[in-house]
């Protein structure tokens, strides 16, 4: 049981290049999330998904797209990378509990992205 | 107006009790309050979660007043290995009525020998 895994661990891009970050979870969780964390800062929600085939915008969605074609995978895409997108990207997953919003999220190890 | 607020940093010594408070004035009705711990170059790790009053597990306690507008994470007898950044996570209601999942800005705890 690997939990939440992220690919790749590190990446360097030039401005204008595109890339896709992959998140995979083996806990059969319904919800998945993408966050970014800038140096010395907290986590900010980019996009999230409450189930296969659904996605929604978070706090900072501009410049990113996501897809949830399979329940266990959540992809984050950068179509035209900018230096402002240099950050560490964390994926997380969780499962709803009854009617309450518990959001006990399990995080991956992160992807460190640098855009030159 | 900040959705959640935490102290930026705290210092403590080994063996002391540490209390970290998070303010979340606009917490959504059905939302639990969750606290995470993060070490450098790692993803956040779940510590404790609660809805109201007091919750205790093997590593921490969580105190939540009746109005739920704040919560306090209590770490008993900290050790050097508790040096980390601690985040609260809640769902808050925006002016639009939409629920927004929001991490606090984090509290950097430094434990000294």
Report chain A's mean pLDDT, rounded to a whole number: 91
Contact A42 B103 (CB under 8 A): yes
Contact A59 B102 (CB under 8 A): yes
On the question of pLDDT at B9 being above 90, the answer is yes
User: CA-CA distance, A28 to A71, in Å (whole number)?
Assistant: 7
Contact A101 B51 (CB under 8 A): no
pLDDT band at A103 (very low <50, low <70, confident <90, very high): low
pLDDT band at A100 (very low <50, low <70, confident <90, very high): low
Strands B53-56 and B107-112: unpaired
Quote the tokens at residue A38: 């800038």
Mutate to test the interface with A, among B2, B85, B91, B101 (most CBs of A within 10 A): B101
From the list A44, A102, A109, the residue facing B43 with the nearest CB is A109
Q: Which residues in chain A touch residue B44, judged by CB atoms under 8 angstroms apart?
A: 43, 90, 105, 107
How does pLDDT run across B49-106, given as a tens digit for each residue?
A: 998 899 999 999 999 999 999 999 999 999 999 999 999 998 777 777 777 778 888 9
Per-position DSSP letters for B86-104, written without gaps between them: EEEEEEEE-TTS-EEEEE-
User: CA-CA distance, A101 to A30, in Å (whole number)?
Assistant: 13
| Model pLDDT, residue A82 | 96
Q: From residue B33, how far is each of A27, A88, B76, B79, B91 by CA, in Å?
A: 22, 24, 19, 24, 8
Residue range B3-22: mean pLDDT, rounded: 94
Residue range A55-71: mean pLDDT, rounded: 94
How does pLDDT run across A17-60, given as a tens digit for each residue?
A: 999 999 999 999 989 999 999 988 889 999 999 889 999 998 89
């Amino acid at each position: 049981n690997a939990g939440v895994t992220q690919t790749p661990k590190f990446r360097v891009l030039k401005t204008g290049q595109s890339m896709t970050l992959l998140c995979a979870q083996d806990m059969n969780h319904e919800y998945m999330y993408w966050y970014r964390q800038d140096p010395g800062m907290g986590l900010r929600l980019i996009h999230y998904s409450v189930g296969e085939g659904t996605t929604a915008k978070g706090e900072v969605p501009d410049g990113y797209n996501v897809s949830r074609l399979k329940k266990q995978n959540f992809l984050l895409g950068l179509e035209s990378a900018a230096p402002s997108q240099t950050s560490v990207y964390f994926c997380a997953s969780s499962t709803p509990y009854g009617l309450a919003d518990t959001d006990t999220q399990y995080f991956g190890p992160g992807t460190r992205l640098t855009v030159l | 107006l900040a959705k959640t607020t935490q102290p930026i940093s705290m210092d403590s010594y080994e063996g002391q009790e540490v209390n970290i408070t998070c303010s979340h004035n606009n917490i959504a009705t059905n939302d639990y309050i969750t606290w995470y711990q993060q070490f450098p170059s790692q993803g956040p790790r779940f510590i404790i979660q609660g809805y109201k009053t007091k919750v205790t597990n093997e590593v921490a306690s969580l105190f939540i007043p009746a109005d739920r507008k704040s919560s306090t994470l209590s770490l008993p007898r900290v050790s050097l290995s508790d040096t980390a950044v601690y985040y609260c996570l809640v769902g808050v209601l925006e002016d639009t009525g939409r629920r927004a999942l929001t991490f606090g800005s984090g509290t950097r705890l430094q434990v000294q020998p």
